[in-house]
Amino acid sequence: MSEVQAKAPKRILILGATSGMAEQCGRLWAERGDALFLVARSSDKLAAVAADLKNRGASFVDSAVADLDDTNHHPELLAHAINSLGGLDVAFVVMGALGSQEAAEKHFPDAHRLLHTNYVAPASLLTWLANYCAQRHAGTLAVVSSVAGERGRKSNYVYGSAKAGLTAFTDGLRNRVDREGVKVMTIKPGPVKTAMTQGMKGQEKFADVEVVAATLVKQIDKGTDVVYVPGIWRIIMAVIRAIPERIFKKLNL
Ligand SMILES: NC(=O)c1ccc[n+]([C@@H]2O[C@H](COP(=O)([O-])OP(=O)(O)OC[C@H]3O[C@@H](n4cnc5c(N)ncnc54)[C@H](OP(=O)(O)O)[C@@H]3O)[C@@H](O)[C@H]2O)c1
């Protein structure tokens, strides 16, 4: 029996279930028989992902269509999802939007949308989920931030600043609820081949999403505090953070 098959089934809530990373993680979870609740905003894509995960062996699949930018509906949505799953072992907060840095520089409403989707909306989900898990002294909140949050760069600092906020939020939340028996994970991917990076220069050199998902599923089982994926990005970002500002500000990054 493989390591994946030997794990006990888990109740997993995926927020942003049609994302490339979520879809691949979902396949691995389905293949070992986990129970899944999927949330995404595109009903067509969501129906296709749900059918695929059911076919691959998930013990239970339910879903809800929701625009996760709508924070007013988070409490109702999360309570419904957890009720449908019959409890919660893992919440995978994976939605995000890269958007257009150029548009965000010219027009603040575009920047505001990016800040909202990548920081405010996940912070709202995590506030409710952390309180739910803390009351029960159980659960893993696996949150996808980004290496882009480690140092602002001219090519994507609006998105990066939201991810920096999300990283700090998860760091603080972990410090608050770890003692309550709740695991909070900060996941920092480097560039990955998904719809988000489609058409970007050099995309062929980015990490394969299947490889990234295999790492994430393993690390989520362990509840590792901070995950760089691929792992080399821990070293790359340490170097980037160490570049003195007087040099960094002149680089085209
Ligand atoms: N790919 C990379 O290189 C990379 C690197 C570092 C971090 N990340 C992060 O990894 C996570 C997964 O991204 P990915 O690479 O898998 O890209 P992706 O395939 O583009 O996934 C992003 C997902 O977020 C969903 N989403 C965005 N706004 C939403 C909203 N308001 N309500 C509901 N769903 C919403 C999108 O839904 P729609 O399909 O409906 O638009 C999409 O399914 C994101 O948080 C991203 O920031 C990605």
The amino acid at 202: G
194 class by beta-carbon count within 10 Å (0-12 exposed, 13-18 middle, 19+ buried): buried
Q: Is 167 in the pocket of ligand 1 (CB under 6 A)?
A: no
Selected catalytic residue, list 119, 132, 159, 228: 159
Domain extent, residue 96, equals 3-248
Q: Give the tens place of pLDDT for each residue, 27-45.
A: 999 999 999 999 999 999 9
Q: ∠10-31-229 over CA atoms, to 5°?
A: 80
> Strands of 183-189's sheet, edge to edge?
60-65, 35-40, 11-15, 90-93, 140-144, 183-189, 226-229
Q: Which sign, positive or negative, has the C-alpha torsion 208, 209, 211, 216?
A: positive
**Number of domains making up the chain:** 1
On whether residue 235 sits in a domain, the answer given is: yes
Q: Ligand 1 centre from 142 Cα, in Å?
A: 14
On whether residue 223 sits in a domain, the answer given is: yes
Identify the residue whose C-alpha is closest to ligand 1 atom 22.
Answer: 19
| Separate counts of helices (H) and strands (E) for the chain | 11, 7
**Sole residue written with tokens 């970007």:** 200
Q: Give the tens place of pLDDT for each residue, 65-114.
A: 999 999 999 999 999 999 999 999 999 999 999 999 999 999 999 999 99
On whether residue 10 sits in a domain, the answer given is: yes
Q: Is 4 in the pocket of ligand 1 (CB under 6 A)?
A: no
CATH number of the domain that residue 226 is part of: 3.40.50.720
* Per-residue pLDDT at 8 exceeds 90: no
Identify the residue whose C-alpha is closest to ligand 1 atom 11.
Answer: 94
Q: Ligand 1 centre from 16 Cα, in Å?
A: 7
Q: What is the pTM of this model?
A: 0.97
> Is 157 labeled as catalytic in the residue annotation?
no
- Report DSSP letters for 126-142, one per residue: HHHHHHHHHHHT--EEE
- Report DSSP letters for 138-164, one per residue: --EEEEE--GGGSS--TTTHHHHHHHH
On whether residue 253 sits in a domain, the answer given is: no
Q: How far apart are CA 94 and CA 153, in angstroms?
A: 22
Measured CA to CA in angstroms, residue 204 lies from 191, 194, 209, 212 at distances of: 10, 11, 12, 15
Q: Give the tens place of pLDDT for each residue, 115-130.
A: 999 999 999 999 999 9
Percent of the chain with pLDDT over 90: 96
On whether residue 21 sits in a domain, the answer given is: yes
